[in-house]
Structures are given as structure tokens and as C-alpha cells.
Structure 1
Amino acid sequence: MTQLQPNLLDNRLRAAEAVVREAGRLAADHFARRELLSIDRKGAQDLVSEADRECEDLIVAGLSRLFPEDGFLGEERGTRNPDASAVWVIDPIDGTHNFLTGVPFWCVSVGLVVDGDLTLGIIYDPTAAELFSARKGGGAFLNGRPIKVSGETDPTRARICIGFSYRRPVAEHVHAVDALLSAGCEYLRLGSGALGLAYTAAGRFDGYWERHMNSWDAVAGLLLVREAGGWTNDFATVHLTEGCEILATTAALVDTVKRHVTFGSSE
């Protein structure tokens, strides 16, 4: 897998984009009739529905037909062939709470990790008809057009999207919000980390931070930000199953944001 030429990775990317679009259509159909969905609770503010599971099953089935030797790690169905050199990391619906309550800020997120290296990333927002995609070394795109991070240099003009997880103390989140606002930097919390990263790659936000983020929420967006010219922290293989803190931002704001959110303080 590591010897694949860029054109072969591009072929994989195009094939995966088609599968993700199909999953997005299925999710959008469920979204239109969400009041009929059965819903389970996985934890505090953590919901899952049959729509999540059906979309993940569609993605795994489609990609496994095309690439039968690959592995899979999904939020809802767990691992399949996890020792493969190439592993697709899947969040079938990121922003499930938004999805189930009618807020049109959610997406399908799929990334490909090859021998621990983030290689492909696709994030699809069906409600906005926006497909974000990236290949390592090939740039980042929105509906086929190149995108780049904002390039903002002044924190008093910046907007940082932040996520929250009950896997970390509430006080850490509160401190980050207080520090950003005290520095004159605006913040947003919108309920989909994958879209927060995609919007950072597209220059709509100037950064994204979350104290703990699972791999299926993060890997596609991290690659998008990197390929759009931004900075992100490293994402080691161990984090595929354990998750980690995530910071992604335009280059000039890295040190400022690190300081305000006390990046790395809970590692």
C-alpha cells in the first residue's frame, strides 16, 4: 500500500467519494424523516440511531467490495481486519445530536490511514451539498475546487471552533473559553468536530480545538487542514483506538491558541 503512486491513490479517493456520497444520500433521507428513527443513548449527550448504523454498514460494504484487503474502524460497528496496512476510519454521521434534532450541521466523515499515516480524507455535508476531500501531497478541495486555511494572524480577528467531550474535565473547556474571549478571540461550538475541521481547512474558521477527540471524528479533517496549508498536531497510530487532543489552525495562530487552551496540559 505504501508504494501506491499518487494516481492510484487518486483512484481510491474518487471511489471513496462515490461511496460517501451514497451514504450521505441515505443519511439525508433519514434526516428528512428523523421523527421515525429509533434512538439509543450511549452516554451523556451521546446519541445513536439506526441511521448511524445503516450508513456505516453502507460505507463498509461499498469500500470492502472495492478494497477487500483493507481494514475498517467505525464509530458504531468497531473494527474489522484491524491489522491491515490500510484502515478506513469512519464516522457515518458526525453531529448525531444535531441530526436528530433537526439542526443541519452534521456530516459523513471517512479517512484512510496507511501504515499509521493519514492518507485520504473525505467529509460530506449533504444538507449543503458540500464534499471536502484531500489526498496527502495532493491538496485539499471543496466540490473539486482548491481550498486553503484563512491565513489570519491577529487573534482579535480570529474565530476558533471548539469541541467538548465529557471524557475530559468541564473546567478545562471553561478555561479555554475564558482565555480565548479574554484575548479578544471569538469562539464557536457547533456540535460536529469533523465539520469544524473541514471549515478550518476552507478558511471559514481560523482553528479548531478539542481536548479529546475520537479518531473517526478527526482523521479526515486533520488531513484536510494539513493539505489546505494549516498546522495540526500529530496523530499517532495508538490514537486510532484511544483518541487524543486535537488542535488545527492557520499557522500564524498556533502559538497563541496553544497558550490559551493550554494545549497538551492533560496528556
Structure 2
Amino acid sequence: MENRARSCRHAGDASSPLRHRAYDVRRDRTGLPPLRPPVGNGARARLCRDHRHRSRRGAHRVRHRRRPVHGRVRDAARCRNSHRRRPLRRRRRDHRGPRAARPRRVARTGRRSMNDLVALAAALARRAGGIALEGRRGGDLGATTKSSPTDIVTLYDRMCEETIVTGLADARPHDAVVGEEGTSRPGTSGIEWHIDPIDGTANYFFGLPTWAVSIGACDAEGPLAGAVYLPVLDEMFTASRGGGAFLNGAPIAPRDVRSLPDALLATGFGYDPAAREAHGRTVANMVGHVRDIRRLGAASVDMCFVACGRLDAYVEGGLNSWDIMAARLVLTEAGCVVTDYAGGPVTPEEVIAAAPAIHGPLVALRARAAS
């Protein structure tokens, strides 16, 4: 009987409360030979039967400076802590130091912020577009003129701008605002909103569908986020810097047109009579070199239609910042090229937007046509 069983041995204190049941010295239930004598000397001669949740460790897995022992064993000094959960391994840190993670964190925060700006612009554009659409169905638009007899403004232009400005003041009180209908306020955040409550007011007044609400935000580097909403078509163009351009949530891109004779060109005319005549002569000289020319009557709509491939190019001058702020970003994020008449940085006074393959030839064509 004295050979029938042995207990797990522990170094030092013989009265240790840690005890394990006996086992057959001839063969353990695992089918392995019995435990060898304890490993090490003195305080290191400590072994105990492993716990069930660690049974995956076999005799072939031996820690550094430990002799292999048959059976599932581990250091007895660790038994008393075996009920504690093993801490998760931490991911290896970048050896460049803690500051190395900051640019990535800033980028994520910036992306969230731009997404918020886009969502705000889209929500306010949709709200203002609904007001304008209801007003158009009602009949009396309260139309008057502004800078010229052809420059129409309606009661709903002002109502929509007030709606947008109020929404921006509630959501972002420290941002600056520039509105077509005269609303302007300074800001301290470094972000400025440019609002065209109804781009294409003449179309709106005459019942044509191509008018839009345009809301764009910019900072010192240029356009940051924007939305152009066509209420009659229920189409929402959105874009953010580095985040792509979308139509009703789906990514957009220009048409893959390779030559000017295949390109459908759009243009517009300002309100100054002399400028209209000069641009008319230029367009007349261009029409024979492109597929055809369209005049939709709203700059933001023209530009967004180029971005999604409904048009191939757009040329116009004499615009304002609120006309192009949002749509310019939609164009660039969709993959189009937008410049001034000479191919330099775009300005509201001179806009040439086109699919990449035809932009250079279009700049050259416009220069020849205007000379």
C-alpha cells in the first residue's frame, strides 16, 4: 500500500495547505510515467499538478532552466495565483516613442470632424430645399431683382438662407458665414461657410428643375466639406477633403472621355452685359470643337454633373465663392481637374472643370477661342 500513492511534494513548509490527490505510481491516468523527483534544489524544488485550464501544456514545453518532467506540471510557487486571469498581451509599441502615434490620432479626429461638417451641410441643404420646394408649389414667390434686371431674388432665397444660417449658428456658433443674400458674420474657429440658398434662382422662378441649395465649408487650405442638393430631383451631392465625392451616398467619378470632340461642355453667363457678350463670342468659337454645349443655369449643378459624368466639362467666369465652394470640392474629390482659364488655381472669376484627359486641351481651346 505504501507504493500505491504519492502526493505532490512541496519545498519548505510541510504543512502547506496545497494538497493533491494520490495517483498510481506505476502509470498516471494520462498514460505517462510517474513524476520524477522535484526539479532544482532548496526553494526551487517545487512542483505541483497543473490546473485543468492549463492542461494543454505538455512535457515537450519546458521553461528556460527547467528539467523536463513527465506529466502536466508547473512551478508550485505560481499555484496560489492560478485563479487569477492571465493578463492580455499588449501590442508591441512603436520604438519611435509615444509621440509617433499622435499624427494618426489627429488624422482620425480630423476625419470625424469633416464627416460631421458634411452631415451638417447635407441636413441644412435638405431642410432649406424642402422650404423652397414647398414655396414653389405655393405660387407667389415674392420675386424682385438685385444687381441687374436678369438677377432675380425671391422671398424663398432669403427664407432658405435664414434657415441655414440659424442652423449653423446653433451647431457651430464659432464658425464664420458668408451668404449670397447678405448674411455675414465673423468667426474664430478658422472654418468659414459659403451659402447659396438657391443656386439657379431664374430656373426656380420659371419652374425648371435644375436649381440647387449649395453649402460649403472651407479653412485656410481651401474647401473642407460641402453639400449640393437638388430638391426637384432629390439628389444630394456631398464631398469632404480626402474623403471622396458621393451622390446620394454612392461614390461618383467623371466619364472617361479622351478627346474634346467627344466631350459635352456646359457653360453659363454672368449678369454683366459686356461680360455676357464677350463670353458668348468665346463659346461660339468653341462649339465647333466639342460634341455640344449645354447651358443649365446653375453653376453648382453644372459642376456636380461633370463630377458624376452627366457632363464632361464646364467653363464659366464671373461667379462668386458661394457658387463654387461646395461643388468645387465635389469635382476634385470625384477626380476632375479644376483650374482658372490659364490652368492655375481656380478662382470664382475663372472656372474650367473637366475630366482629367481633356482638361489641358480644353484650356488651350478656350484660350484660342477668346483671342
Query: Structure 2-normalised TM-score?
Result: 0.66
Instruction: Tell me the amino acid that sits aligned with residue 318 of structure 2.
Output: H
Residue 141 of structure 2: aligned partner: 37
Q: Could you tell me which amino acid in structure 2 is paired with residue 169 of structure 1? A: A
Q: Tell me if 1:76 matches 2:166.
A: no
What is the CA deviation profile of residues 105-148 of structure 1, one whole-angstrom value per residue up to 9, with x for unaligned ones? 10000100112511112100010010000001000000000000
Q: Is the 8 A contact 1:175 1:261 kept in 2?
A: no
SS of corresponding position for 1:108 = strand
1:82, distance to aligned residue in structure 2 (A)? 5.7
Q: Quick check: 105-114 or 207-216, which moved more?
A: 207-216
1:182 maps to: 288
Q: What pairs up with 1:56-135 in 2 under 5 angstroms?
A: 56-81=161-186, 85-135=190-240
Q: Is the 8 A contact 2:151 2:271 kept in 1?
A: no
Unaligned runs of 5+ in 1: none
Unaligned runs of 5+ in 2: 1-105
Give runs of aligned pairs for residues 200-239 of structure 1, distance below 5 A.
Answer: 200-233=306-339
Of 71-80 and 221-230, deviating more is 71-80
Aligned pair 1:152/2:257, yes or no? yes
AA paired with 1:205? Answer: L
Deviation at 1:14, TM superposition (A): 1.2
Q: Give the secondary-structure state (helix, strand or coil) at the position aligned to 2:253.
A: coil
Contact 1:89-1:215 at 8 Å conserved across structures: yes
**How many equivalent pairs are there?**
260
Partner of 1:191: 297
Deviation per residue, 1:193-242 (Å, 9 max, x gap): 110001011111001110221111111111001000000017979x6xxx
Is the CA contact 2:176–2:186 (under 8 Å) kept in the aligned structure 1?
yes
Do the aligned partners of residues 204 and 222 (structure 1) sit closer, same or farther apart at CA in structure 2, a change above 3 Å counting? Answer: same
- Whether the 8 Å CA contact 2:264–2:290 is kept in 1: the answer is no
1:190 CA drift (Å): 1.1
Q: Partner residue of 1:13?
A: 118
In 2 relative to 1, CA 67–82 (structure 1 residues): closer, same or farther, beyond 3 Å?
Answer: closer
Shift of 1:150: 1.1
Larger radius of gyration: 2
1:261 aligns to 2:366 (yes or no): yes
| Paired letter, 2:362 | V
More strand by percentage? 1
Q: Deviations over 1:164-199 (max 9, x none)?
A: 113462343223322322214311111111100010
Q: Quote the residue 2:63 is aligned against.
A: none
**Cα distance in 2, alignment partners of residues 175 and 151 from structure 1:** 29
Q: Relative to structure 1, is the Cα distance of residues 97 and 179 closer, same or farther in structure 2, using a 3 angstrom cutoff?
A: same
CA distance in 1, matches of 2:319, 2:145: 19
257 and 44 in structure 1: CA distance in 2 versus 1, 3 angstrom threshold: farther
- Give the distance between the partners of 1:25 and 1:162, measured in 2 at CA: 27
SS where residue 252 of structure 1 aligns?
helix
Q: Which amino acid aligns with 2:231?
A: P
Give, in whole Å, the separation in 1 of the partners of 2:163 and 2:120.
14
Q: Is the 8 A contact 1:116 1:236 kept in 2?
A: no
CA distance in 1, matches of 2:113, 2:144: 40
The alignment yields a C-alpha RMSD, in angstroms, of: 2.3
**TM-score under structure 1 normalisation?**
0.90
Pick the aligned partner of 2:129 from 24, 46, 49.
24
The answer on 1:47 being equivalent to 2:152 is yes
